[in-house]
Chains A and B, each alone.
Chain A
Amino acid sequence: MRKLSVRTRWAVPVGVVAVTGIVIAAAAVASAAAVPSLPSRTPRQLLTEIAQGMATPLGPLTATVQQTANLGFPALALPAQEGGASGPSAGPQSVTIWYRDPRHVRVAEQVLAGETDLRRDGRTLWVWNSKTQTATRYMLPARKSHGGSGPAGGSVPGTPSAAAAQLLTAIGPTTVVSVQRNVYVARRAAYQLSLVPRSSKSLVGSVVIAIDARRHIPLRVEVYPRGSSTVAYSIGFTALSFGPPAASNFNFTPPSGATVKKVTVPGNLTSILGQAVPGAAGLGSLVPGAPGAGLGSLSFGPGAHGSVTPATARLITGMLAPAKLPKFLPALPPQVRRQIEAQFAKSLPAGLSKARRAALIKAFARHLLGRRPLSRGVIAQLGTNAGPATAAPRVIGAGWLSVVATPPSPQVAAAVRLALHGSPGAGQSSPAYNSAPAVSPPAGQVLAALPALLRAATPVHGTWGRGWLLQTALVNVLVTTKGQILAGAVTPSVLYADVAADAG
């Protein structure tokens, strides 16, 4: 061994650390700074391509989708996923998807030493939860013809270029649309389309959509708050490969020893739920209109709920919805449950005996509480006459400034009083929020979330009345003393104006 100086020897570990650091930094920089060179596109060309891309059925694929929410207030309004693989953590959540066609899908939510799986094989849908070791089989209703896996008809009218033109004209007055630096997403070259609201009353600074250069499908959507360069919300592929996944992903045999439940989903149950539940302050994202309906559908720009819902987001929520249902139902807020029960009662045939009617309603209620699967009798009684829902949360305003508002609810008002005074009957004198005693809240996710929400909120008042305002990077929530909840990606002034307008 030749004699090396002490300094030379210490240069080795220093070099190793330096190389490690450089490799890590270079990988980070390279992935951030890598700019694929692609033929340049105008926003209009891009929109046309997207429309074309969405018109083409999405082929079989395997992908991982990651959602990151950094709203400055972790997952407050989201209900905890009971028995689910993940808790209500604010960290990135990702799911892996194996997709052959809309009828052959597997979605797995993987967490440390746990997994929730949804496997759809034709009409059979299995939900597997490793934590509880339960397998639930849903027999889905026979499919109404849905035009294969193509796009939902309404959103892309006419030719792609016409659709693009239409979209641009529609959003033009409210939104600045531009093309940004190209990026790699899930190792695929992508264009970036940026939508910037013109109104300064919107909390949204920009929405950036990465569009696959070859397949013209959205790969990632990022939402930036106004005046911030930190992503507040993003959803996108972290891995994406095309090609049919193995058939073993779709069929499922419950392992021996597991608890097996069997549920037959009536034809219109999902639509009942879909109408009754969304918008109930944050729950909406978890229960989309109808499972499986929106695969490949594109609704750009400020949608019905004031947020961009790209195909990817729809894909995930659409396919995950049935997985969430069984976990989610028992925790429905009582008033929502009553609404659903009322819908159910209305949907029953008119000629039933009173006792029969009461028994059916009771059975359905128990099912809703997650205690028992629906019996054949109940399912048989569920005709097609489920009427459209009423008294659901409304959307006030339009475009970027749209706000979701629940009607004033005595329950919410009582819960607010309870959370603030410890007594639902106490007067409405404006209390200091921080003197609120910790009170076990009434059941129901919205009501359960209220105390925490109120603790983080600041009391506000104005000509419109009194309430509590929760401010996050991207969403403001206003709870009024009358029990009305308003939420939107808008400045508080818009919420106040909406309350006033709603009351007036």
Chain B
Amino acid sequence: MSIEQGDRALPQAAGGAVAVRPRLDWPDEPRLAQRNPVSAWLRFFASEIRLVFGRPRNLALLGVLGFVPVFFGVVFRLTISSVDGGGGPPFLNQLAGNGVFLALVVLTVMLTVLLLPLSAAVVSGDAIAGEAALGTLRGLLTVPAGRTRLLAVKYAAIVVFSLAACLLVAAMSLVMGLILFHVGQVTLLSGTTVSLGAGVLRVLAVAVFAAAAMASLSAIGLAASTLTQHPVGAIAGVLIVTVASEICDQVPQLSAIHAYLPTHYWLSWDGLFRSPTDWSGVEHGLVSFAVYAVIFGSIAWAKLTSADVSS
């Protein structure tokens, strides 16, 4: 009976019911085994990762991000004598004494001069709008990749990219710090010291925190990406939001809303360099990032799952 044959050839619907009676027999084609949803997700995710990390533009971005610590390391090495404790980015005053701080200086600089936000904006703003512009979005949706699933996989890959970018910057900075500067026990802001290993761990924690900040910004980028078919528009939108938020954060008259700005907690990891470790900044930051990610993630979801794809 043809139904029996078809049962094995067809995916099982969620309820266990067979979806369609096949009206034809494919000679000797591979049987569609009941697919393990986890492995299917992983396969799609791996494909997305390959896409994000294989795109020449993104590789160029990572290259620039990796080069910045080298550049700053050399500049600071040459000018360190003229750098005094007063001005400059935080932790710069400790750089001469300990190269570990190069990572903190570079991460701070790259967060504030929009280099890391830019890369997060490029990857997230491109996520959906880029596929729409290429026309590949309709291909994915008719596969069907599933709109919610596509969005989830996209965001997961963006988070991985953010993490990779921040860890790359931290790692390159640590290497440059090791080469160019004296390295030893790490003096915390409170004046106490921790071992080099513990210091490096804290630096990596800062990189992860910065990645969380970028992942949260990427959620805004993802939402922007579903609202337009032009990736450049989405990227510009994210950067405008970032700059506007940073400006508002500097205006004392707006102090009432400072804590609710998306960029407010980007540098609030300094508590990790106090003794005893002050987690409150990190905790507030992570909560803020998560709330922004959920809000804009849900906007992206609502938009993408209800949008007409006519690109």
A-side interface residues toward B, CB under 8 Å?
1, 4, 6, 9-10, 12-13, 16-17, 20, 24, 83, 89-91, 108, 110, 112-115, 117, 126, 128, 130-133, 135, 246, 248-249, 252-258
Contacts and interface: CB of A to CB of B under 8 A. Distances in A.
B239 to A, nearest CB: 22
B299 interface: yes
A115 B189 contact: yes
A253 B190 CA distance: 11
Contacts, number: 96
Interface in B41-86: 85-86
B255 A17 contact: no
B274 interface: yes
A87 to B, nearest CB: 11
Most buried by B among A115, A130, A133, A135: A130
Nearest to A115: B189
Given A12-B301, A17-B295, A128 B191 contact: yes
A90 B291 CA distance: 29
Contacts of B12: none
B45 to A, nearest CB: 19
A114 B187 contact: no
A1 B108 CA distance: 43
A114 B274 contact: no
Contact of A258 (B191, B278, B294): B191
Contacts of A110: 189, 274, 278
Contacts of A115: 189-191, 274
Contacts of A249: 276
Interface stretch (B87-95, B115-123, B130-138): B87-95
B298 A16 contact: yes
Contacts of A13: 295, 298-299, 301-302
A255 B274 contact: no
17 contacts: A1-B147, A9-B305, A9-B306, A91-B252, A110-B278, A112-B90, A113-B189, A113-B267, A115-B191, A115-B274, A126-B191, A131-B85, A132-B85, A133-B93, A133-B94, A252-B192, A258-B191
Interface string B252-282: 1001000010000001101001111010000
A9 B274 CA distance: 45
A258 B97 CA distance: 9
A6 B275 CA distance: 51
Most buried by A among B91, B93, B298, B299: B298
Give 8 closest A-B pairs by Cβ, nearest first. A113-B90, A128-B191, A257-B97, A255-B187, A13-B298, A115-B189, A6-B306, A9-B302
Given A9-B305, A112-B270, A114-B90, A130 B276 contact: no
Contacts of A135: 191
A36 to B, nearest CB: 24
Interface in B162-196: 184-185, 187, 189-193
B146 interface: yes
A337 B148 CA distance: 72
A21 to B, nearest CB: 10
Contact of B190 (A113, A128, A133): A128
Contacts of A253: 192
A4 B85 CA distance: 59
Interface in B192-212: 192-193
B302 A112 contact: no
Interface string B273-311: 111101000000000000100110011011001100000
A75 B302 CA distance: 48
Contacts of A117: 190-191
Contacts of A89: 252
